[in-house]
């Protein structure tokens, strides 16, 4: 099916990158599976030149149109709990999420991508890896084999996540961060930008530096 109507939830940051990915896939690779219909945003009238079709409260109305599919582009680093709360409130059925992968990305044949996953340009996802629902994998990211990424995670530009790693619910591997093989990142946890993670990061904690050390807990309000 061609030109399926896609509504992206969020603003110019992550959500805008999703729209750019769709447009690049269409223009450079002739992939017309998805067409951006507009955005959901509580604060703006347009996002990246696209119309805002409503706010988060309007999602139930938009869901009544069976032609609409959705991508979740909201991720507030450091307020991970609030991000997950908004996601639950949106209550979008799994069957209504799109799955967007840039054509320059390498995704192993036996990798499992759940509904709503986004993979941007030049990323690598190794064999036997599972990527949870609505996780965002940004440009030039690398994920080793046999790794499990939970739903709603954000793997930022140039991040490297090694093999046999587990990343928990709504967590962040920030820009340029590196998680060494066989280490775990907990739920609502953060590997800060350029961090070198050589040990497990517990739930709700931010670890930073080379090597990474405990910095503080995330906001829980």
Q: What residue numbers bound the domain in which 108 lies?
A: 100-206
Domain boundary among 62, 96, 130: 96
Residue 161 has pLDDT above 90, yes or no: yes
25 inside domain: yes
Q: Are residues 109 and 201 in the same domain?
A: yes
> Count of domains in the chain?
2
Domain boundary among 52, 72, 96: 96
Residue 47 has pLDDT above 90, yes or no: yes
Q: Are residues 105 and 83 in the same domain?
A: no
pTM, entire model = 0.96
Secondary structure (H, E, C), the chain:
CCCEEEEEECCCCHHHHHHHHHHHHHHHHCCCCEEEEEEECCCCCEECCEEEEECHHHHHHHHCCCCEEEEECCCCCCCHHHHHHHHHHHCCCHHHECCEECCCCEECCCCEECCCCEECCCCEECCCCEECCCCEECCCCEECCCCEECCCCEECCCCEECCCCEECCCCEECCCCEECCCCEECCCCEECCCCEECCCECCCEEEECCCCEEEEECCCC
Q: What is the pLDDT of residues 89-108, one digit of tens each?
A: 999 999 999 999 999 999 99
How high is the mean pLDDT of the chain?
A: 97
């Amino acid at each position: 099916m061609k030109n399926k109507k896609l509504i992206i939830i969020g603003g110019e940051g992550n959500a805008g990158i999703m729209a750019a990915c769709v447009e690049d896939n269409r223009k450079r690779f002739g992939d017309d599976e998805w067409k951006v219909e507009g955005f959901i945003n509580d604060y703006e009238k347009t996002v990246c030149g696209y119309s805002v079709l409503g706010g988060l409260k309007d999602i139930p109305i938009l869901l009544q149109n069976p032609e609409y599919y959705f991508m979740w582009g909201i991720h507030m680093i450091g307020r991970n709990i609030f991000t997950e709360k908004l996601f639950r409130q949106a209550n979008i059925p799994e069957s209504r999420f799109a799955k967007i992968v840039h054509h320059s990305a390498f995704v192993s044949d036996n990798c499992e991508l759940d509904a709503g996953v986004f993979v941007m340009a030049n990323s690598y996802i190794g064999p036997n890896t599972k990527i949870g629902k609505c996780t965002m994998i940004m440009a030039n990211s690398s994920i080793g084999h046999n790794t499990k990424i939970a739903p709603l995670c954000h793997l930022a530009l140039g991040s490297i996540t090694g093999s046999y790693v587990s990343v928990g619910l709504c967590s962040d591997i920030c820009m340029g961060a590196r998680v060494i093989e066989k280490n775990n990142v907990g739920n609502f946890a953060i590997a800060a930008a350029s961090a070198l993670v050589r040990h497990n990061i517990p739930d709700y904690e931010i670890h930073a530096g080379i090597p990474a050390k405990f910095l503080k807990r995330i906001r829980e309000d």
